Amino acid sequence: LAKYLLISAVFIYSFIVFPLCDLDVEGTACPNPFSCIPRLLTMNSDRMTFFQRVKSMLYPLSLKYICQVSVIPYARMASELLQREVSRGEILASGSVWLFREDFVMDYPRPIMPNMVFTGGINCANRKPLSQV
């Protein structure tokens, strides 16, 4: 919709939504070294052996196909709205700011771009203060 109205888009990215598709990496053109950053569901840590690094590099190949298939209906809808053929990458690259509903402290160190902002838990409720016991 922002692309149709020719305004900047702000994406709010939650880990729950498409965590395996690396939409944030694709949209921000952020480097994502598979050999250094453990992939979700691979059960690897940041200290990987050579074969674990190979597994971490091969794992996203199958996920790319699944993600491409799951986005096809939305790509068609965007193409109809804009009345021209658009790709998922083109739409994601139009975002001026990416707000991440996660805390960088809880994740492995990774490169981030200047337009990526970690907001922690946006939907967290205010808690009562701790007792003085």
Query: How many folded domains does the chain comprise?
Result: 1
Q: Is residue 107 part of a domain?
A: yes
* 45 lies in some domain: yes
pLDDT digits (tens, 9 = 90+) for 26-60: 777 788 777 777 777 778 777 888 888 888 888 77
In a domain, 105, yes or no: yes
Residue 18 has pLDDT above 60, yes or no: no
- Which pLDDT value is given to residue 113? 85
SS (H, E, C) 76-102: HHHHHHHCCCCCHHHHHHCEEEEEECC
Does some domain include residue 69?
yes
SS3 75: helix
The reply to whether 20 falls in a domain is yes
Q: Residue 129 domain-assigned?
A: no
Alpha carbons 9 and 104: distance in angstroms, whole number: 22
Mean pLDDT along residues 6-29? 72
Integer angstrom CA distances of residue 15 from 20, 51, 118 = 9, 27, 12
Confidence of residue 123 (pLDDT cuts 50, 70, 90): low
Is 7 a member of any domain?
yes
Neighbours of 78 (CB within 10 A): 20
In a domain, 92, yes or no: yes
Domain that holds residue 93: 2-118
